[in-house]
Structure 1
Amino acid sequence: MGITARGVGLLVAAVVLLGVGFRFAYPELTVLGAAAGAAVGYAALTAAWRPRLLVTRHADPDRVARGEPASMTLTVRNGGRLRSANLLAEDRCGDRTVPVPLLRLRPGRDTEVRYHVPTHRRGVVPVGPLRVTRRDPLGLVALARPYGETTPVWVHPRIHPLTAVPTGAGRSLDGRVDGVPHGSITFNSLREYVVGDELRRVHWRTSARVGELMVRENVDTSLPRLVVLLDNRAVAHPERVDGVAESFESACEAAASVVTAAHHADLPVLLLMVGPETAGTEASNPEAIEPRRSAGPLDRLAAAELSGDGDALRATTTRLRQDRLGDTLIFLTGPAGRGELGHVGALRGAYPSVVVGVFGAAEPTPAGATGLVVIDAADGAAFAAEWDGVRRW
C-alpha cells in the first residue's frame, strides 16, 4: 500500500492539529485533526478492498518468427457479486505497459483488450501480470496488486530455406541415406503398442510385468547426425548496435535454418551452445554443453543470450571430442571467434565433416585447419546463399 503526497500532507496535518488542539485545548482544531485522520483511515480501508478479478490471456500465436505479427487477447472478469469495479489497470508486455480500461465493470461482466506483441527482436516476450491499482475517491492512498500469470510469447529467429543438408559419413547399410528415424539395427527404448506395430517387436517379458503391450523401439546407428554448435560467448560477438549483437542474431538465424532443414530431411540434429543457456524465464543452465530436453531447438534459440564465459569453447570442444555426438559439426560464431578456430579444427578426427559459419567479419576468414568448410556471411540470408553454393561437406 502506498500513500500519495496528498495523503502524506493530510496525515501530517491531522497529527499537528490533534497535537495542538489537545495541547492548547482548542476543540475546533481537535475536530479538524480527527476528521483529517478519519479521512486517511477511510482511504486506507477503501484502497485495501480487493476486487475479485479473473484474468485470462490468449496469445495468437504464442510462437512466431521474428517480424511476424502476434497479438495478445486479455479478458478481465469481475467475479464479485456486490459492487462494480472502478479501477486503474495496466498489462505488462515486454518492456512496455498497455493500459486496460476497467471503468464500471459490473459483477459477472467482463471486458476484453487485444493488443499487438512486439516481435521486431528475437527473444521471449513476457506478457503479464496485470497490475491493478486501487485508489480512494480522495486520492490519498493507492494500492497496486498483480492479477493473473505471466504468459511468454516466443519470438524465433528468422528461418532461411536451405536446399541442401550435409550427410557426413553416415550411410545406411544399403548404401543410401536413410531418412527413417527408427530402424532395426540397435535397441533404443520401449514404448506402448499402437495399432499397426509388428507383433515380432513386442517385448513380452516387459508387457507381462506392466500389464500392457510394450514394443521395442530401435534406431539405425548408421543414420547421419548433425551437431549444430552455436557460439553464444560475448567475447565472440563484440560489436553492439543499440545493445544488440547483430552477428549473434545472424548466427541464431543460421542455426534455426540448419535445424529446420535437417528436420525437413528427417535427419537427426542436435543443437548445442558453447556457453550457459537460458530457457525462457528460467535460471541459466550451469552446464555448457548439455541441451535442454524440455524445450525445442527453436524455443532454445529464442531464449539464447550471450554468456560471459570466454573460456568455455575449449571445454566444449573437449567434450565433443570425447562424446562424438555426430558425424557433421556445424560451428557458428562471430568475428572475434575466428582466432579460436584451431580448437574446432582439432575435432576433424572425431567429425568427418566440419562446417564453420563466421558472421559480421569485416574481411574474409584466412585459410585455417585443413578440412574445414568456412562460410563468411554478413547475416542469415547471406549464410543461406553461401550454404547452398557449397559443393563439398
Structure 2
Amino acid sequence: MLSPTGRGTAVGGAVLTAAGYALGYPEAAALGVACLLAVASAVVWTLPRPELAAERRITPRKVGRGEPADGIVTLTNTGSRTRRGLRATDVCGDRPLGIDIPVLRPGEVHEARYALPTARRGVIPVGPLRLLRIDPLGLARRARDYGSSDTLVVRPRVRLLPVLPSGKAHHIEGPASDTADDGSLTFHALREYVLGDDLRRVHWRSTARTGTLMVRQMVDVSLPHTTVVLDTRAGAYPSEDDFELAVDSTASIVHAAACSHFPVHLVGDTGPLLLTDGSGDDAESLLDLLALVGRSDRRSIAAAFDDLEHHRGGGSLVVVTGTGDDDGLTAISRVRRRFDRMTVLRVGGTPPAPPPPGGPGPDVPQLHIASLDALSAGWRGEAVR
C-alpha cells in the first residue's frame, strides 16, 4: 500500500514522464521516470513477508480498574536476513498502541513491554500484533498480522471492608427424619456426585430421572448472608463515573463477604445475577461478573425486589443506587422485614434526593458515598452499628 507521499510521488512521476516526452523535455521525463522507479523499488522492498515469530503475554491478566497491566511481546527473527524498517502496533480494545522495534539480525530476539489501558471495566481483546514494514523513503508500507489475540479482564476496584453481622440463625427446612443433617445446614441445590460426597445426601429420585448420581448440596444458614441489589439504571446515576463508583462499591461489599466464605446473593434490575454458597473461588466469580455489568435503560428498580419477597429470611440487605432517579425504591418496603438489617447506599457526587414516600423508613440507614474512601469510613461505622 502506497503512503500519501508514495501516491503523490507516483502521480507526479507519471505527469512528469508524460509531459516530458510529449513536450520534448528529456530532463522532466528523466525526473518522472526516477520518481516511478523509486515507487516501484519501495513496493518491492515491502513486498516480502518478514520471517518473524511473535508471542504476547499479558501480566496480570485480571486487574482492578486503574491498576497497572503490561503487554509483553517477544519477536524473534526466524529468517536468514536482517530486518530493518519494522514498526509494530498492538490493539487493546479500540486503542492502538505503538511499539518500537530495532534492527533484528537473524536469530535475534527482542522483547517489548508496554502499558495497557485499564481505565474502563470489561473483557478487553488485545491483538493481534500488526507489523508495519516501511521502505527507507517512506513511499510504501505493508501491514501484516502476527501471533494471536489475547484477553485482558478489567474488574472493579475493591477496598477491604468488614462484613456486616446479620445476627440470626434460621433453619427453615428443619430435619425431616433421623438421617437429616444436623446443625444449621439446609438444602441449597442439586449437583452431580463427586468422589468423597456423603452417600446419605444422594437424591435418588433425581438420580433415577437423570441417570446421573445426584446429591443434595447443603449450606450453613447460620453464616452471615449478604444480599446486594445493584441498581444499574442509567437514570439513577448523573454521570458514568458515579455508576463506576457504584459497581466498585458493590464489588467491595460482596468481595469482603465472599473472602470470608460467607454466602452472597447478587441481584440486578431484573432479578438474581449470582448466588454463591461461600465455598471455592466465589470472590473471583463475583468480580468477573461485575467486570461485565453495564448500565441498563430500565425505568424502575422495583423488579429487583420481586424475587426477594420469597427470601428465606435473615441476613443483610444492601441496596446500591445512585443519587438520581429513585423510581421503584418504594419496593424496599415489601422485603425489609425478611432481613435482619438493611442499608441503602446512595452513590454519587451530588446529594441524594429525599427518600420517596413509602420507601426506606428512618430505621434504615442511608449512606451517601462520593468516593471509595468515603465508603471505607461509612461502612466501618455501619458494621459496628
Give the TM-score of the pair, scaled to structure 2.
0.74
Calculate percent identity across the aligned residue pairs. Answer: 34
What corresponds to 2:193 in structure 1? 191
Structure 1 CA distance, aligned partners of 2:203 and 2:312? 28
Listed one character per residue, the Cα deviations across residues 47-94 of structure 1 (whole Å, up to 9, x for unaligned) are 233324333222332223345444332212233344435302233457
User: Does 2:248 align with 1:253?
Assistant: yes
Aligned partner of 2:102: which letter?
Answer: L
Match of 1:291 in 2: 273
Change over 3 Å in CA distance of 1:132–1:124 after alignment to 2: same
Alignment match, 1:11: 10
Contact 2:65–2:154 under 8 Å retained in 1: no
Query: Would the aligned equivalents of 1:364 and 1:376 in 2 still touch at CA under 8 Å?
Result: no
1:300 aligns with 2:289: yes
Corresponding residue number in structure 2 for 1:280: none
User: Against the structure 1 CA distance between its residues 114 and 269, is the aligned structure 2 distance closer, same or farther, given a 3 Å change threshold?
Assistant: same
- TM-superposed CA distance for 1:112, in Å, is 0.8
Write the deviation string for residues 227-249 of structure 1: whole angstroms up to 9, x where unpaired. Answer: 322122222111x4xxx52x333
C-alpha RMSD over aligned residues: 4.3
Alignment of 1:324-343 (within 5 A): 324=311, 328-338=316-326, 340-343=328-331
Asked whether the equivalents of residues 229 and 304 of structure 2 are also in contact (C-alpha less than 8 Å), the reply is no
Offset of residue 111 of structure 1: 0.7
> Within 1, Cα distance between the matches of 2:237 and 2:205?
55
Q: Is residue 2:145 matched to residue 1:154?
A: no
Q: 1:172 to 1:348 in 2, by over 3 A?
A: closer
C-alpha spacing 1:325/1:151, structure 2 compared with 1 (3 Å): farther
Distance of aligned partners of 1:391 and 1:364 in 2 relative to their CA distance in 1, 3 Å threshold: farther
Aligned residue in 2 for 1:285: none
- Following superposition of structure 1 onto structure 2, how do residues 1-393 of structure 1 map, counting pairs within 5 Å? 1=1, 3-21=2-20, 23=22, 32-66=31-65, 68-92=67-91, 98-117=97-116, 119=118, 127-148=126-147, 149-166=149-166, 170-171=170-171, 185=187, 188-193=190-195, 196-201=196-201, 214=213, 216-220=215-219, 222=221, 225-238=225-238, 240=239, 244-245=240-241, 247-274=242-269, 288-289=270-271, 291=273, 296-307=285-296, 309-318=297-306, 320-321=307-308, 324=311, 328-338=316-326, 340-348=328-336, 353-360=341-348, 361-362=350-351, 365-366=354-355, 368-370=359-361, 372-390=364-382
* CA shift in 2, pair 1:339/1:321, >3 Å: same
2:136 partner SS: coil
Q: Which runs of 5+ in 1 are unaligned?
A: 275-287
Q: Distance in 1 between the 2:16 and 2:265 partners?
A: 74
Distance 1:312 1:250 in 2: 20
8 A contact 2:301–2:329 mirrored in 1: no
- How many pairs are equivalent? 364
- Going from structure 1 to structure 2, the CA distance change for 1:326 and 1:21 (only over 3 Å counts) comes to farther
Distance 1:169 1:234, change over 3 A: farther
- Look up the equivalent residue of 2:108 and give its one-letter code: R
What CA distance in whole angstroms lies between the structure 1 residues aligned with 2:244 and 2:364? 23
